[in-house]
Structure 1
Amino acid sequence: MKQNVSYKDSKTLLNKGTGFLSGYTHSLNPYTGCSFGCSYCYVRQMPVSLFRHEEWGDWVDIKKNAASLLAKELHKAKTKGKVTIFMSSSTDPYQPIEYREKITRSLLEVMVEDPPDFLLVQTRSPLICRDIDLLQRLHNHVRVSMTIETDIETIRKQFTPQAPPIQARLQAVEKLVAAGIPTQVAIAPVLPSSECFPYKLQHIVNRICIDDYFMGDGNAGKRTEKIGIKEKYSELGLEEWYTPQAYQKVYTRFLEVFPKNQIYISQSGFEP
């Protein structure tokens, strides 16, 4: 797939945490756009995508001045009080372009030298394991949240064909946990999965976050509905998985395997 890649200087990098991320002082996006192009991504319905006039997933803007800008903004923010950062809210910080550009790594290097009070790194990419050395230096000021929406690879390919395979993500979680990095698995959004899903995670992670379109897309599921995901479920004969109650099926399955205090629902699972 040919991708439109641009290099741009950003005027700001740390944005105020609002809405679903109101528990954070700031959100941080190393890139604009995301080549994973997940079919259900709510960002498709946000201005950054709607006004672009290009298909979501076909373009990425690289913030070439990101590290120097973060160093200035982070220092300034810390003089005003506690700083908690969600990385990232509208892109994946470890999408494929990161292999080459290392923008996310450069931001972690800044934060290792001048740590925020808390950093959550949200990704679905095993590439994050490359930066274990930096994540370790952040100690308990960081948590990695690895998206694993399903344990069924054929389902993953239907909804996120450009994203990393499930098995690779499971292996990445194992490596992160073995390295002593606080890590959770985010079943977000809930996709159809098997009864075995909890058992596949049981021995590799002790924190689970379950979220769905209706709680987590920032507009009670309306953004997701506008991009045609409901129709996709119907085409696949999976209508029972596209309801506000569907997440409860997954929650019940996980309660049979994990202690209740290790399972978080929606926003609470992403809080600092």
Structure 2
Amino acid sequence: MKQNVKEIVSKSILTKGTGLLNEYSHSLNPYAGCAFSCSYCYVREFPVSLFRDEEWGTWIDIKANAAELLRKELIKAKKKGAVTIFMSSATDPYQPIESKTLLTRSLLEVMLENPPDFLFVQTRSPLVTRDLDVFKRFGDRLRVSMTIETDKEEIRKAFAPTAPPIQARMNALKTITEAGVLTQATISPLLPCSREFPKKLKGLANRIAIDDFWMGDGSGGRRTARLGISKIYDQFGMGKWYNPSAYKVVLKMLKDELGEGAEVLVSQHGFSPGR
């Protein structure tokens, strides 16, 4: 899918944490728009997408002055109290364009100058391993979370055909974990998976979080329903997976496989700034 890419000048870069991210002082989005264009992305229902003439996934705005803004806004924010940042809530900080712009990396470097109390990096891209050297310098102030919503590649292709392959994400997450960086495997949103999924996740991250449309789309599943996601489930004969109780089955599978000592979190708790 071809994207219309342009640079923009933003008025601000840190946004107050609200909703499911209300435990964070701020969210940070280096880009507007996302090339991965996942069919279930709740941002499709946000004004940034609804009031744009271009289809979600076909445009990307690069916030060219993001690093300059962050340097100033971090100073102001830290004067008011603890600063905890979620990067990113409405885009992927490591979508393909990042390999050329290095925008996300520049923001990480700014944060090293004046570190936030905690930084949560959320992505589904193996490109994240590029910045492993920077992540290490944050110590326990940072956690890298990799979205792995299923272990079935055919399911991934049905719901998110332009997103990175599942195995590549797993390999990247393992690399980061073995380097000593705090990590998380994030099953969000939970998609149909195999019984072997928990075993495949074992040892890939320090902890696991699981979420679904009903808990995680910010509207009790109504945004997802408007996107017509249930039709994809029906195409695969997996309609039983499209219900608010499906996660409980997978949650039990995870606990049975990983043991009682494993840290398996549900929905908002899995995205909290706690270390």
User: What is the CA–CA distance in structure 1 between the aligned matches of 2:171 and 2:216, rounded to whole Å?
Assistant: 26
Q: How does 1:1-272 map to 2 (within 5 A)?
A: 1-260=1-260, 261-272=262-273
> How much identity, in percent, do the aligned residues show?
59
Per-residue CA shift, 1:192-237, capped at 9, x if unaligned? 0000011111122230000000000000000011011012212221
User: What is the CA–CA distance in structure 2 between the aligned matches of 1:204 and 1:251, rounded to whole Å?
Assistant: 17
User: What is the CA–CA distance in structure 2 between the aligned matches of 1:270 and 1:258, rounded to whole Å?
Assistant: 20
Per-residue CA shift, 1:124-169, capped at 9, x if unaligned? 0010100001110011000011000001111110101101101100
User: What is the CA–CA distance in structure 2 between the aligned matches of 1:167 and 1:30, rounded to whole Å?
Assistant: 26
1:182 Cα offset (Å): 0.2
For structure 1, list consecutive stretches of 5 or more residues without a partner in the other structure. none
1:53 Cα offset (Å): 1.6
- Partners of 2:182 and 2:206 within 8 A in 1: no
User: What is the CA–CA distance in structure 2 between the aligned matches of 1:204 and 1:31, rounded to whole Å?
Assistant: 28
Q: What SS does the aligned partner of 2:258 have?
A: coil
Letter matched to residue 136 of structure 2: Q
User: What is the CA–CA distance in structure 2 between the aligned matches of 1:172 and 1:98, rounded to whole Å?
Assistant: 16
Between 1:232-241 and 1:245-254, the stretch displaced more is: 232-241
User: What is the CA–CA distance in structure 2 between the aligned matches of 1:53 and 1:218, rounded to whole Å?
Assistant: 24
Letter matched to residue 68 of structure 2: S
Between 1:259-268 and 1:121-130, the stretch displaced more is: 259-268
User: What is the CA–CA distance in structure 2 between the aligned matches of 1:49 and 1:32, rounded to whole Å?
Assistant: 9
Letter matched to residue 13 of structure 1: I
Letter matched to residue 266 of structure 1: S
1:68 Cα offset (Å): 0.6
1:185 Cα offset (Å): 0.3
Letter matched to residue 7 of structure 1: E
- Partners of 2:185 and 2:204 within 8 A in 1: no
Superposed structure 1 runs of 4+ greater than 4 Å apart: none
